[in-house]
Amino acid sequence: MTAEDYLNGQVLLIDKPLHWTSFQAVNKMKWALKSKLNLPKKFKIGHAGTLDPLASGLLLVCTGKFTKKITELQGQPKEYTGTFFIGATTPSYDLETEIDQTFPSSHIDEALIHETVKQFLGEIDQKPPIFSAIKKDGVRLYEHARAGVEVEITSRKTTIYEFEITRIALPEIDFRVVCSKGTYIRSLAYDFGKAMQSGSHLTALRRTKIGDYKVENALTPEEFEKVILNSEAAE
């Protein structure tokens, strides 16, 4: 593609690696595009929906005029796969923080797990994790958390369209979830454990789809960089 193609607008499918921030992924792409295609300083590029560093998978990156589509793309249903660890919680609901509590789990069997899934299908009330970027009184929740400040977090409506257990090897449970914008899978992990009279936290997460876009059609940021740098120079 030429510089004009990117300026007119593209939706690029990127497979964000584990431990990368979404910003780092976009920045690498931006550098490659500017280096090769001599794009203007104010070239527009942005992603439609952040992925945490501890998650991998599909990141939609919009360029040029298509940056206007970001809000629309963010609103599409998303599919995730991952792993819950049953019997323990962490303050961040994932591996960002250490285990703070352990719970009984000997009563949990496959029947209870599959029965509990039903509680989370459809529209549910969900509280975002305290370690999240949502703002409360102008300050991001994770900043309150790291400062040791307790804040009241308001629950909000979200929708789980599909929730499937794909592997049970306690204390691990693998899952696949299709959900609406604004769903926190970390909160789902926490609430799922609580619903089974135990605890749970998220140990792996991968975003596999956004709307009709699939991660199997995506390139890593480094693969994208190689494609751009090895392509013929734009006219």
Active site positions, annotated: 52
Check residue 72 and give left, alpha or beta (phi > 0: left; psi -120 to 50: alpha).
Answer: alpha
Inter-residue long-range contacts of 103-106, CB under 8 Å, 24+ positions, other chains counted: 103/193, 103/197, 103/198, 103/199, 104/197, 104/198, 105/170, 105/171, 105/198
User: Phi/psi of residue 79, each to 5°?
Assistant: -115, 135
Report which residue type is found at 192. F
Q: What tokens does 174 get?
A: 């693998």
216 Cβ contact list (under 8 Å, min separation 6): none
Separation between Cα atoms, residue 178 and residue 174, nearest integer Å: 14
Separation between Cα atoms, residue 114 and residue 162, nearest integer Å: 13
